[in-house]
Amino acid sequence: MQGSIYTAFSDMVIEQMGMESWNELIDETKPPSQGIYTAGEQYQDSELINMVVLLVEKTGLPIEQLLESFGEFLFDKLYKNSPADLSNIDNLRDFLLAIDSVIHVEVKRLHPQAYLPKFKYIEDRDDQLTLQYFSKRKLCHVSVGLIKGAANKFKQKIQLEHPICMHKGAKYCELVVIFKEG
């Protein structure tokens, strides 16, 4: 997994729970990296998974809620550091449609070894966009948080539904974004 995910995760834990909590996570999970992350490097997925599982145990939060919160926190970090020029995108729908065709293309150009989720889009209504999420990591709840973070960035009220999920045996997740007025 890309180091930028780990640096954002450490930032979130430190900001919300303190440096002592971060140090405890590292001490208790004993990641091969020793908790030293660089944005451009790749790290084992298990490092993040082990920390998330331990945080769930420590906080009592449902894993879905923790991952969604991380996704919302992560959005600003990824948006600010995006290798793609996003200056011409001024609304949530266009931003979401640019994930695979613009943003992920630029990330792959800079980090060819990066594994990124894939999205297929269904645009059957003006007030709705369905994203089909495909990933071996099954971090759909992080994607839900990222979408919520993007909605905040573009000041777009949404309703988000997750009717199909890989965690319930499906081959992909379906994230339905319903755009609200006002």
Instruction: Tell me the pLDDT tens digit for each residue of 126-179.
Output: 999 999 999 999 999 999 999 999 999 999 999 999 999 999 999 999 999 999
* The Cα angle at residue 15 between residues 10 and 16, in degrees rounded to 5: 100
Q: Whole-model pTM?
A: 0.94
Residue 182 pLDDT exceeds 80: no
What is residue 155's three-state secondary structure? coil
Strands (E), the chain: 118-125, 128-134, 158-164, 173-179
Please give the average per-residue pLDDT across 112-131, as a whole number.
94
Which ranges constitute the DSSP H helices of 43-130?
45-59, 63-80, 92-98, 104-110
Tell me how far the alpha carbon of residue 40 is from its chain's centroid: 17
Q: Tell me whether strands 128-134 and 158-164 are parallel, antiparallel or unpaired.
A: unpaired
Banded pLDDT at 120 (limits 50, 70, 90): very high
Report, at the CATH architecture level, how domain 78-179 is classified.
Alpha-Beta Complex (3.90)
Digit-coded pLDDT (tens) for 31-74: 999 999 998 889 999 999 999 999 999 999 999 999 999 999 99
pLDDT at 154: 97
- Structural domain boundaries in the chain: 3-60, 78-179
- Look at residue 90 and tell me whether its pLDDT is greater than 90: yes
